[in-house]
Amino acid sequence: MKAKLGVLFKTRYFSLVALLVAVILFFQITSSGGAYLSVINIRSILNATAIVALLAIGAAYVIISGYVDLSAGFVGTFSGMLVAYFIEFARWPWPLAFLATMVIAMAVGFINATLIHKLGFQAFIATIAMGSICEGLSFLLTGGRTITIRNAAFNSIGTSRFFNVIPSSVLIAAVALIIYGIILSRTRFGRKVYLVGGNQNAAQLTGLKPVKVSYIVFVNSAAMSALAGCLVASRVMAGTMGGIITQNFAGITAAILGGISFGGGTGSVSGIIIGLLIISCFSNGLTVLRIETYWAQVASGLLLVLAIALDNLLSRQTSGAGKKPR
């Protein structure tokens, strides 16, 4: 029993859960009147988690396959502006506006993969470039102005609650996490993503098509970003230039914290959920304590550094443990 407990205490999951509990206890103690764990604030944490969850799903699949997508926040913001533009200016029915937005966003993901595989761009350069283009297009589309959305049906997607308790965006994110978790752990495509991220050459020799898998995960990442952007637009009832740009790295941070290695080929959705909760609880706690936005950004950056440092440390330990003495 002691040996099993010792192994448990050394696992990444235990460390993450311990960190999550520590974050919650710290902010509950330091918040005025214990407001941190109030019903209203817990709902706020879940709402924030829902948006980051969608970004984390897209980021996780890309990272596991051996790449990185740094355009997520910009694609999501552009999508929020697009859906607002189509609804308010083009006067399209909201389902058509949403569908068109998703198609355009997925085209951005397709272009990301094309820049990488056809033109030889590094993934971070290609995705940063496309992110910059999306940001510029958002300005050109609206002149940098906010577009108020007056479509009640569309707005209800982000503001309604099931049984008057669970925010609809939280339910959407939960369903997405379950579906993508099953795909990654139980399907042939999920195994392909792991194999491609672990060793592309070996995967190709076994008959897999790494480039095809890469195209799919980049298109999926853009689609998840677009869905997150549309949910935010629905929730605030407007397309704004702010959008989800500030959460551009949140999905990557959650994925790395949750055990997705930058080396590719490892990780699971279950770990991502814990990473998501840590990020959302931490960010919300800073807001509850009324810490200035700039300091909150500094703290979020430090959290990303911590996640990458932890990933590097565990990767070295794993590779070291795997070496046999001669």
Residue 22 resides in a domain: no
Residue 309 has a pLDDT of 78
User: Domain limits at 206?
Assistant: 35-248+258-311
Residue 30 resides in a domain: no
Residue 291 resides in a domain: yes
Residue 48 has a pLDDT of 87
Residue 289 has a pLDDT of 87
CATH number at residue 158: 1.10.3470
Residue 313 has a pLDDT of 73
231/237 Cα distance (integer angstroms): 9
The tally of domains found in the chain comes to 1
Residue 7 has a pLDDT of 47
For the chain, residues with pLDDT lower than 50 are 5, 7-9, 322-326
Backbone dihedral region for residue 160 (phi beyond 0: left; psi -120 to 50: alpha; all else: beta) = beta
Residue 135 resides in a domain: yes
Residue 28 resides in a domain: no
Tell me the H-state helices in 92-237.
94-117, 123-142, 152-159, 168-186, 188-198, 200-205, 210-236
Residue 134 resides in a domain: yes
Residue 297 has a pLDDT of 73
Residue 137 resides in a domain: yes
Q: What is the pLDDT of residues 173-231, one digit of tens each?
A: 999 999 999 999 999 999 999 999 988 888 887 888 999 999 999 999 999 999 999 99
Question: How far does CA 124 lie from the centroid of its chain?
Answer: 16
Residue 269 resides in a domain: yes
